Structure 1
């Protein structure tokens, strides 16, 4: 960010606009509420998007579910826009149109228009950029708009849109300072994306009563996992069933099967379930950056944005399956201090042989010393660990010491994975 304050009149590039917006309201400052963003959206009718709108909330699995739906809809010939956050390497990743990140020029034009529309209304970084994304979706109509909720649901800026279907992927403890201290309270916040008489899909395996009660209050036709639709994992395949519709012998995808099952329930609501050969083809090719993403295989380097207890448990299960193929499993971890660091590292203590703990920058970044305290609290035995002041330094040192039969997992935050991806691309190009 430049030392001198920018003005909107001086913004020429996307980087300029992002600096200007962040100067006005830092990216890591959270200020929930719909009044400001709705006031600006109403001036251009941005809440009413063209095509069918799917609003996706959840503690984990939002990005995966959006990706799965995107690929299955594209494969059936529909045009699709996807809004998600945060990004890993480039801001442009936050909005995809038909599988391509929106280019700088469209973002710049949209941000200039939002700046004019907002007049004297103060907007957060997320509110401003969300409105810009909605404006692009309004101007570049698609058959389906898949909108990923940023935080919670009820008070998130994305919740100004009018969805045709609302989705809750999973519910677990995260962002308790804003959403509540237990799963019932968090579920209530996420159920804020439901709309009167509109269908909902719930992919949480242990759904809180606050969620189902809200669906009933609003008369929402609901498809709930393990009640209305089910999936079963076998050794090397899986099956899915919803009423009379179903699939057998599906390939295990690169993303959580639970999220695929939830996505299929959404398509069932839309009467757009694909033919099995097409589904098999899409699942075989399904990938999402930052989710169990192998950067290389010898030695193995994997990045995953797991950053809360629920996602850590899933990551631990994947690593446990991989561990027999490697001599050592090493971890590079950087987290935000508002996360439950002890509970997030706890599930992994049985599969990690050596820990590399790194500080993250900014007011929300946890220090390596704070991570150490959490690790020592979580571990049953004395762990082998080392401390670093930044992720890039830690990763470069690890690259120099990895052996061919090692597996290195990098996790804990989008910030951590983003720094590693940038460093890896620099080191290998």
Structure 2
């Protein structure tokens, strides 16, 4: 399970997924799909698209990862998680195949999602890549539209340690003659995507980030980029596939959390002290988050922080506010960065921090210490947020 164990659980090969898909009689061919990759924002954008299509009256499957509390969050239809019974029956029915082929957790999950969407007769499924793109298990689909949100450094041990190498992996989802939407801003990466799309005879659509975006209920200024991307994807859907009006777009973007159940993106769970949960976990994500936090009024900032061990901790911590009070712990997974190691990173930059045995203890301590007019931010990893929600 990559999310818990890291690189050792990653399989850079689509053959298992292809074999499973054939074993299941190719369920993903039973409905239309939209495919999203990117370093940050693909989860939010996927939920936005699903919400808009729901407002248009369609039955919409949504496959995302990782989950926060319940595995079934990964597989939703119109915001509702698949049932426990479906998961149990799917595993029981295909257990011998899984064992014989030594399938990974993610490979099984992708097959499970595709099968569920087929059995429930969805009109369309929004599919988010788990890691990368080219060799991601979701990359067996032929979508009506592909999209890449942006490129930044994350999972460098697997995807490469340069923007170009990472972009090439993400570009693996660009299919022949399938339109692709690109949210990336760097000019040399835009040129790279343009060349790859042209080589594959695919029309390429770059987002103009200077344009005004439709408002969304998802908090944080950084969601405007995701809303622009979602809007362009919706715009490219042809009437022969689905009919989506401007009203559907506007209503969908304003009701993302309600329609899809999305949590953990600038998620305000209390007002006094204001308490925000955000799954930002890499340099680009933390940079956007901290810039947003700077716009908040508060007396004192308290940050509950945990990370996983394969992240670029030093460069993340360089971005953190110097005058905040930090509450440090280890996320309860094998990949979790040991609290003493994380604390040593913070000490290097003279950041005031205290170590706690669990994330919940750290969170409770921040609530005890915080004044009515203070702000509490919980961040650093999806797995930190999952222990709080």
Could you state the TM-score of these two structures normalised by the residue count of structure 1?
0.82
The alpha carbon displacement at 1:305 in A equals 0.3
Deviations 1:337-357 (CA, angstroms, capped at 9, x unpaired): 10011222322225x521112
Matched, 1:186 2:166: yes
The alpha carbon displacement at 1:259 in A equals 0.6
Matched, 1:309 2:283: yes
The alpha carbon displacement at 1:27 in A equals 5.6
Point out the structure with max Rg over C-alpha.
1
TM-aligned CA distance change 1:199 to 1:97, over 3 Å = same
Partners of 2:181 and 2:27 lie apart in 1 by: 21
Aligned partner (choices 299, 303, 306) of residue 334 of structure 1: 306
Aligned partner (choices 251, 254, 271) of residue 218 of structure 2: 254
Aligned partner (choices 114, 136, 139) of residue 134 of structure 1: 114
TM-aligned CA distance change 1:273 to 1:320, over 3 Å = farther
TM-aligned CA distance change 1:136 to 1:30, over 3 Å = same
TM-aligned CA distance change 1:335 to 1:416, over 3 Å = same
Matched, 1:266 2:233: yes
Partners of 1:280 and 1:195 lie apart in 2 by: 29
Structure 2 segments unaligned to the other structure (5+ residues): none
| SS of 2:337 mapped into structure 1 | coil
TM-aligned CA distance change 1:189 to 1:215, over 3 Å = same
The alpha carbon displacement at 1:107 in A equals 1.6
Equivalence for 2:253: 283
Aligned partner (choices 305, 322, 334) of residue 363 of structure 1: 334
Partners of 2:148 and 2:243 lie apart in 1 by: 19
The alpha carbon displacement at 1:329 in A equals 0.9
* 1:14-33 alignment, distance < 5 Å: 28=6, 29-33=9-13
Equivalence for 1:46: 26
User: How many positions carry a matched residue from both structures?
Assistant: 374
TM-aligned CA distance change 1:376 to 1:214, over 3 Å = farther
Deviations 1:290-321 (CA, angstroms, capped at 9, x unpaired): 00001111111110000001111110111011
| SS of 1:147 mapped into structure 2 | strand
The alpha carbon displacement at 1:140 in A equals 1.6
Aligned partner (choices 383, 386, 389) of residue 418 of structure 1: 386
| SS of 1:417 mapped into structure 2 | helix
Partners of 1:119 and 1:396 lie apart in 2 by: 42
Partners of 1:174 and 1:392 lie apart in 2 by: 26
CA contact (8 A) 1:46 1:161 kept: no
Aligned partner (choices 359, 365, 368) of residue 400 of structure 1: 368
Partners of 2:138 and 2:253 lie apart in 1 by: 28
The alpha carbon displacement at 1:120 in A equals 1.2
Partners of 1:251 and 1:26 lie apart in 2 by: 35
Equivalence for 2:354: 386
RMSD of aligned Cα (Å): 2.1
| SS of 1:321 mapped into structure 2 | coil
Partners of 1:138 and 1:278 lie apart in 2 by: 25
| SS of 1:201 mapped into structure 2 | strand
Partners of 1:205 and 1:231 lie apart in 2 by: 11
CA contact (8 A) 1:307 1:411 kept: yes
| SS of 1:55 mapped into structure 2 | strand
Deviations 1:144-177 (CA, angstroms, capped at 9, x unpaired): 1101100001111111222221111111000000
CA contact (8 A) 1:110 1:133 kept: no
Structure 1 segments unaligned to the other structure (5+ residues): 1-21, 233-238, 241-249, 422-429
The alpha carbon displacement at 1:111 in A equals 2.0
Partners of 1:212 and 1:376 lie apart in 2 by: 44
| SS of 2:378 mapped into structure 1 | strand
Aligned partner (choices 75, 86, 97) of residue 95 of structure 1: 75
Partners of 2:99 and 2:173 lie apart in 1 by: 28
TM-aligned CA distance change 1:26 to 1:71, over 3 Å = closer
Point out which structure has higher relative CO (alpha carbons under 8 A, 6+ apart).
2
